[in-house]
């Protein structure tokens, strides 16, 4: 392998045949796709036949790191998983922090590809280049904590374990994979794919190394990068309060989604402010691998029905999904709900959202109180919400329907409930709202995995980042580009941001410090990547952006093959038709089509269909994809 930064190998694990192949990392793959999401997009596009059932043995899971994983660049503990999503039927991907990713590299693997379905429950133990498939009947049925404990006992107390809980086993369509007990690959249901493959866990132990090409240069950049995190006031705030810090920001701009995204102002928000949590529940801080932010907050609840647990607490998204979006200001219940999700292996966002959907349906009389297993479903009744989490994970009673996600559940219920199913392409909407932040409206609509808050959320078009916005898009775009209630320039902002974030997800580094607070940007990647890998071409910003764009387009092609077109790039009708009822954004709605036209033009996608044009794919070197789309009759004229 001519490049440094990588460890130079991957493993192909076939659970049907119970076989393991270890192969050298392809240099071309590294050159054209860098790592992480790029590796996954290339591999899944090539391996998956369009139209397969995501829960069949034909689905494939890619688990990937990037060339910076395991190094001293800040926030390089991230790793990712991808497969066809059982929740959305399209591109599925999720990233997590912790220590598993670096350990996988130290064990000698840049990525893993897992195929087939085991006859019986299995777990994979990777110990320094040796991969073993082990029986897991005794672990099937255990929650995440119990299974992780048992596997560490059987393998190595210092092994890093990623596993599913009962939700993944029960094929809950938004089941997560949890590593190191608390770090969640939450979105798009990769946990259900593991469950369908009867894969309970992967444990990894590695003593190896990651070497960089130009150590002196690398360390010079690292020193500067660490300094910038330490000096950034918002990074310091994040260190102090964690992502709950966002509760205050979001409430102040009227975008703290409340009661199933009905409004953006939550009257109970003051109970959920980061300062309040710090004072009442905080125990200590934790960080992921090589991170100076330490945004993980360990909390405990001392009294009441949820007392006794010490655990890493909910992020902003968990506080939104079990708090404001359920009209619930009781933090102990939010903390407990988040804990339960991580222990059952459920995505905290989708879980809260399906409960919010059902609660609104009951509150509006669309679903009868007699249809919800006798639960007293109403805004703020956290005892009923907690009960539903158990039911969803076990697929019991009404939980069996909710385990399908809001899209399928609403289609089954009918009766106009579809209006209250707040999702894009089947993925429940995260804690943002296009009505008060137009760019996220566009981003939710077009992102490859559905309503996504991580792949295109522009953060610098509000909250006073005019200087940064001017630097990125030109001073002539001010003030409109920083007006969150205007559609103007938002297509441009989202397009660039998606391309840069795509590169972020190849390296792989964290959302925090890149996306918010805005500390590192593409110029920083263009400096560190050549020092890490030795590939000079990675030192050109245009080249990196082209690679980012390539990944965005490849994921789009993946989705187009599954039938996605412009008609699917929609927002929930609530965001389009129902003006924000109160707060600073009162009266706002999203004019999505205006932004979509511009976005497709900038992307080189056909306005009518939203499908990448031949010239676009050619420019990005996606030649076979042109043929594929043509053969399916989907290539724009």
Partner 1 sequence: MKLLIIDYDLCSGCRVCELICSMEHAGVFKPSISRIRVVKNDKLSIDVPLVCIQCESPACVNICPAKALSRDEETGIVRLNPDKCIGCNLCILKCPYHGVFKTPDGVVVKCDLCGGDPRCVKYCPTGALQYVEESPETKAKREKSREKLLKLLKEYELEKPALRIARVGGSGA
The footprint of partner 1 (CB under 8 A) covers 70-72, 98-99, 106, 127-128, 145, 148-149, 155-158, 180-182, 205-212, 215, 219, 226, 230, 283-292, 294, 296, 298, 310-312
Least gap, CB of 299 to partner 1 (angstroms): 10
Distance CA 232, CA 234 (A): 6
Least gap, CB of 286 to partner 1 (angstroms): 5
Nearer residue to partner 1 within complex by CB, 162 or 265: 162
Residue 546: its H or E element: helix 541-561
Nearer residue to partner 1 within complex by CB, 230 or 602: 230
According to DSSP, residue 10 is labeled E
Distance CA 64, CA 7 (A): 12
Nearer residue to partner 1 within complex by CB, 157 or 464: 157
Least gap, CB of 509 to partner 1 (angstroms): 14
Nearer residue to partner 1 within complex by CB, 73 or 575: 73
Q: Please compute, for residue 159, the number of CA atoms within 13 A of its CA located in the half-sphere on the CB side.
A: 23
Least gap, CB of 505 to partner 1 (angstroms): 21
Distance CA 46, CA 36 (A): 16
The tokens of 272 are what?
């959920």
Nearer residue to partner 1 within complex by CB, 222 or 355: 222
Nearer residue to partner 1 within complex by CB, 31 or 286: 286
Least gap, CB of 372 to partner 1 (angstroms): 34
According to DSSP, residue 559 is labeled H
Least gap, CB of 153 to partner 1 (angstroms): 10
Distance CA 154, CA 156 (A): 7
Which are the contacts of 568, defined by CB distance < 8 A and separation ≥ 6?
A: 425, 610
Distance CA 462, CA 587 (A): 18
Nearer residue to partner 1 within complex by CB, 238 or 451: 238
Nearer residue to partner 1 within complex by CB, 76 or 260: 76
Distance CA 133, CA 124 (A): 5
Q: What angle do CA 394, 562, 636 make, to 5 degrees?
A: 155
Place of tokens 């240069």: 217
Nearer residue to partner 1 within complex by CB, 294 or 486: 294
Query: Which among 509, 530, 533, 529 is positioned nearest to 229, based on CA atoms?
Result: 509
Q: What is the layout of strands, in order, in the sheet containing 91-96?
A: 19-24, 9-14, 111-115, 61-64, 79-84, 91-96
According to DSSP, residue 49 is labeled P
Least gap, CB of 429 to partner 1 (angstroms): 30
Least gap, CB of 610 to partner 1 (angstroms): 42
Least gap, CB of 110 to partner 1 (angstroms): 14
Cis check for the bond before 479: say yes or no (omega within 30 of 0): yes
């Amino acid at each position: 392998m001519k490049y440094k930064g990588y460890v130079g190998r991957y493993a192909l694990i076939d659970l049907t045949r119970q076989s393991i192949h270890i192969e050298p990392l392809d240099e071309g793959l590294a050159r054209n796709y860098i790592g992480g999401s790029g590796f996954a997009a290339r591999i899944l596009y090539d391996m998956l036949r369009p139209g397969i059932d995501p829960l069949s043995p034909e689905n494939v899971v890619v688990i990937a790191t990037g060339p910076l994983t395991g190094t001293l660049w800040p926030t390089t503990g991230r790793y990712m998983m991808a497969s066809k999503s059982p929740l959305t039927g399209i591109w599925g991907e999720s990233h997590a922090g912790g220590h598993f990713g670096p350990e996988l590299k130290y064990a000698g693997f840049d990525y893993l590809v897992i195929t087939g379905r085991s006859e019986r429950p299995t777990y994979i133990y990777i110990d320094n280049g040796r991969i073993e498939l082990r029986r897991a009947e005794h672990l099937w049925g255990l929650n995440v904590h119990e299974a992780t404990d048992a596997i560490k006992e059987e393998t190595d107390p210092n092994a890093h374990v990623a596993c599913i809980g009962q939700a993944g086993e029960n094929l809950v369509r938004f089941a997560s994979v949890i590593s190191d007990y608390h770090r969640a690959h939450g979105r798009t249901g990769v946990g259900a794919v593991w469950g369908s493959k009867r894969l309970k866990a992967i444990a990894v132990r590695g003593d190896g190394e990651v070497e960089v090409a130009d150590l002196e240069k690398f360390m010079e950049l690292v020193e500067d990068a660490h300094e910038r995190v330490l000096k950034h006031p918002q990074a310091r705030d994040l260190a102090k309060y964690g992502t709950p810090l966002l509760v205050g920001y979001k409430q102040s701009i009227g975008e703290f989604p409340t009661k199933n995204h009905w409004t953006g102002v939550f009257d109970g928000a003051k109970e959920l402010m980061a300062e309040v949590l710090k004072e009442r529940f905080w125990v200590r801080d934790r960080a992921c691998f090589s991170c100076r932010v330490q945004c993980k907050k360990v909390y405990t609840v001392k009294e009441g029905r949820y007392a006794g647990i010490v655990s890493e607490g909910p992020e902003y998204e968990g506080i939104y999904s079990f708090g404001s979006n359920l009209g619930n200001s009781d933090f102990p219940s939010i903390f407990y709900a988040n804990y339960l999700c991580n222990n059952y292996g459920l995505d905290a966002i989708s879980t809260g959202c399906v409960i919010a959907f059902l609660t609104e349906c009951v509150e509006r009389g669309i679903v009868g109180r007699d249809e919800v297993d006798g639960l007293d479903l109403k805004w703020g009744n956290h005892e009923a919400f907690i009960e539903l989490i158990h039911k969803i994970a076990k697929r019991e009673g009404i939980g069996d329907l909710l385990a399908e996600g809001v899209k399928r559940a609403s289609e089954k219920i009918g009766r106009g409930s579809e209006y209250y199913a707040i999702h894009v392409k089947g993925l429940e909407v995260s804690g943002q709202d296009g009505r008060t932040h137009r760019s996220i409206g566009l981003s939710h609509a077009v992102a490859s995995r559905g309503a996504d808050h991580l792949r295109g959320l522009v953060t610098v078009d509000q909250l006073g980042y005019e200087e940064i916005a001017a630097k990125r898009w030109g001073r002539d775009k001010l003030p409109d580009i920083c007006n969150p209630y205007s559609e103007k320039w938002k297509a441009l902002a989202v397009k660039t941001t998606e391309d840069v974030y795509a590169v972020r997800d190849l390296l792989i580094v964290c959302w925090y410090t890149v996306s918010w607070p805005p500390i590192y940007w593409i110029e920083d990647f263009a400096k560190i990547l050549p020092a890490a890998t030795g590939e000079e071409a990675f030192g050109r910003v245009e080249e990196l952006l082209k690679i980012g764009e390539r990944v965005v387009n490849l994921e789009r092609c993946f989705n187009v093959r599954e039938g996605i077109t412009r008609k699917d790039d929609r927002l929930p009708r609530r965001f389009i038709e129902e003006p924000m009822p109160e707060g600073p954004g009162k009266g706002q709605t999203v004019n999505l089509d205006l932004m979509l036209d511009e976005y497709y033009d900038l992307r080189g996608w056909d306005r009518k269909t939203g499908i990448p044009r031949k010239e676009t794919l050619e420019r990005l070197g996606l030649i076979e994809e042109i043929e594929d789309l043509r053969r399916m009759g989907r290539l724009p004229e």
